[in-house]
Amino acid sequence: MSDIIKLLPDHVANQIAAGEVVQRPASVVKELLENAIDAGATSIKLMVKDAGKTLIQVIDNGKGMSMTDARMAFERHATSKITTAEDLFNLNTKGFRGEALASIAAVAHVEVKTKRDSDSLGTLLKIEGSKVTSQEPTVTAKGTMISVRNLFFNIPARRKFLKSDQVELRNITDEFHRVAMAHPSIQFSFDHNDNSLFQLPTSTLRQRVVNIMGPKSNEKLVPVEEETELINISGFVGKPEFARKSRGLQFFFVNDRFIKHSYFHHAVVSAFEGLLKDKAIPSYFLFLTVPADSVDINIHPTKTEVKFDDEHSLYAIIRASVKHALGQFSVQGIDFNLE
């Protein structure tokens, strides 16, 4: 009997990886926005057609890629961001797995136009289902434009299970909010079907939150600031009356990366103890800064679940700092009422 185990061809391996990384149009948006940030862009434009089912395009003014790097970027496990396993414990970039572009290109029609500042000509590369169909020199500005068309064109089951445009657009908007909120110093825009949904100028964190959440949110934000040896916390919690029954305005960022954390969520909710009506859930926009080697981001491909050293201590610090902020707020509130 002959042996029966074979290595999968790259395009098949990429399609399997894509199942984890690219679940819906919003996943593509997240990966492309994060790449633009890692490229040092100061201005990032997101353009979407039909909730991402027809087109997702991100244009940045970051450092761009050479002709060869533009091709390499689509290889699996190809990254400029880490070189050794030790680097995994000290990450300063959003990306490091080197699989987003390879995964996206496995399940869509992708076009990249990119140029470095030092090059006189840029490069235009087209890839369909992991196969490069053309690459040619092109005249373009410094930075990178990536267009992703016909997502899941070769996986009909996935395409069929995409939700309505309204739901997919909601998911894209959530990703956009998370990235834009974490980077108020970067200018962002977001257009859907040629309508401008967001134009976010460079601003302070408070202004960015207000630009995203709407002008009414300004008076509802209570600042939270705490510096300890284990963690620095900054950001805002919404005043108790701003709390709603539905979830949705809860944001934790760790070292400028959006994460979900039910244990820390509990820490914030419990700090509101006695202030909330009918199980309402408070809003918060909290930036946690910890040493890069005290958090493991590499426990899930989408990197929204992370693991901290000493979560119990962090819980206590988060809870205390929110309580402290709310306490100050209510004292100020009373002073204000007496005036």
Nearer to ligand ADP, 73 or 200 (CB): 73
* Number of residues in contact with ligand ADP under rule CB under 6 A: 24
Q: Between residue 122 and residue 151, which ones bind ligand ADP under the rule CB under 6 A?
A: 144
CB 103 within 8 A of CB 22: yes
C-alpha torsion 147→180→313→277, nearest 10: -120
Which region among 60-68, 84-92, 201-209, 265-273 touches ligand ADP (by CB under 6 A)? 60-68
Q: Which two tokens stand for residue 4?
A: 């029966």
Q: Which residues contact 311 (CB under 8 A, 6 or more apart)?
A: 263, 264
Pick one of 35, 144, 217, 250: the residue that binds Mg ion (CB under 5 A).
35
| Comparison of 35 and 123: residue with beta carbon closer to Mg ion | 35
95 vs 240, which CB is nearer to Mg ion? 95
Q: At 197, is the secondary structure helix, strand, or coil? A: strand
The first and second tokens of residue 129, run together, are: 């289902």
Q: Is 159 in the site for ligand ADP (CB under 6 A)?
A: no
Closest CB to ligand ADP belongs to which residue? 95
Choose between 95 and 282: whose C-beta lies nearer to Mg ion. 95
**Residue of minimal CB distance from Mg ion?**
95
30 binds ligand ADP (CB under 6 A): no
The whole-angstrom separation of Cα 329 and Cα 220 is 11
Among 52, 62, 95, 143, binds Mg ion (CB under 5 A): 95
Single-letter amino acid code for the residue at 101: L
Q: Is 95 in the site for ligand ADP (CB under 6 A)?
A: yes
Give least dist CB 18 to ligand ADP, A.
11
Burial 233-265 (b: 16+ CB within 10 A, else e): bbbbbbbbebbeeeeebbbbbbbebbbebeebb
Candidates 25, 48, 52, 62; binder of ligand ADP (CB under 6 A) is 62
Q: How far apart are CA 297 and CA 277, in angstroms?
A: 35
State the Cα–Cα distance between residues 173 and 26, nearest whole angstrom.
8
When binding is defined by CB under 5 A, the residue of 18, 28, 100, 180 that contacts Mg ion is: 100
Q: Binding of Mg ion at residue 62 (CB under 5 A)?
A: no
In what order do the strands lie in the sheet containing 284-289?
221-227, 232-238, 284-289, 250-254, 257-259
Count other Cβ atoms within 10 Å, centred on residue 38: 19
Count of positions on this chain that bind Mg ion (CB under 5 A): 3
The residue range among 96-104, 196-204, 219-227, 299-307 that interacts with ligand ADP, by the rule CB under 6 A, is 96-104
Q: Residue 60 binds which one of ligand ADP, Mg ion, none, with CB within 5 to 8 A depending on kind?
A: ligand ADP
Q: Distance (Å, rounded) from C-alpha 14 to C-alpha 10?
A: 6
Are 232 and 279 in contact by the 8 Å Cβ rule? The answer is no
Q: Which of 33, 56, 59, 100 binds ligand ADP (CB under 6 A)?
A: 100
Token pair recorded at residue 288: 């946690």
Output 14 or 211, the one with its CB closest to ligand ADP.
14
Interface residue list for ligand ADP (CB under 6 A)? 31, 35-36, 38-39, 60, 62-65, 73, 78-81, 95-102, 144
Interface residue list for Mg ion (CB under 5 A)? 35, 95, 100
